[in-house]
Amino acid sequence: MRIGRWFSAALTAGAARGRGRGARFGLCAAVVAALGAALALANPAGAATITGTTGLLQVPTADSLAQGEWRLAAGFDGREFFPSVSYGVLPGLEIGVTTQADGGITPRLKYTAAAESAGGPGLAVGLEGNSWYAVASRLLNTPGLRMHLGVGSGRFGPVMVGIEARLRSVAVATADAGASAPAVSLLVDYDGQAAAVGARLDFASGLTLSAGVRAGDGVIGSAAYGMRF
């Protein structure tokens, strides 16, 4: 119930964008501050797109946060930063909000209708502001290679494609526990508007860093941290 009331409040805030620049900037700053405060409490929660949804650089995948997991993230699209918060409400159901520099708020919802298995791909549908999408994710026969294919509207599609190649599949902590060797993935995706290519580092601590180059926009990426309470 507490999460539901929080999300409803976020939606109401999004509808009331015109109430003043000071308050809107304050909300954006608060999310950034919360991201920094959460670093010491994190557990792995998956990678985020530049807008905070579980996915590659800019394309959502069929994965979603596990029930009870939070993720705070900050994305960059080549022009501005997008602080975001996401939560796994129920198995397969991920909700969240993303803020913009001008104080605008974009609510997000994603549902994994079918988890990926040996018998078939993962399937998910989602909403991000006024845009919708549906995506399928599937491991290919080539070890470490996974493909994502989707359709959508607005900032998604009409067709989306993504490929990730896992170069090192396990994040390994060093003996002195002072550092770790992250899992490494190469990423290529196309959101229907432009293609992007980059890489992702998944650390054993739960920190996930993604960075790449998007055609026409330059450097994009995100930093994400997850936690449980």
Closest of 148, 128, 126, 146 to residue 136, by C-alpha = 148
Full-model pTM: 0.77
Whole-number Cα distances in Å, 27 to 69, 70, 101, 104, 105: 22, 18, 10, 9, 9
Total residue length of the chain: 229
Q: Which residues pair with 196 in a beta bridge?
A: 189, 214
Structure token pair of residue 113: 């209708």
Residue range(s) defining the domain that contains residue 75? 2-228
Q: What does the pLDDT read at residue 143? A: 85
Coarse DSSP helix, strand, coil percentages of the chain, rounded to the nearest 5 percent: 15, 50, 35
List Cα–Cα distances, 211 to 86, 121, 134, 164, 208, in angstroms. Answer: 20, 26, 24, 13, 10
pLDDT at residue 37 in the model: 36
Residue ranges of the chain with per-residue pLDDT less than 50: 1-45
Count up the domains in the chain and report the number.
1
CA pair distance 6, 194, nearest whole angstrom: 34
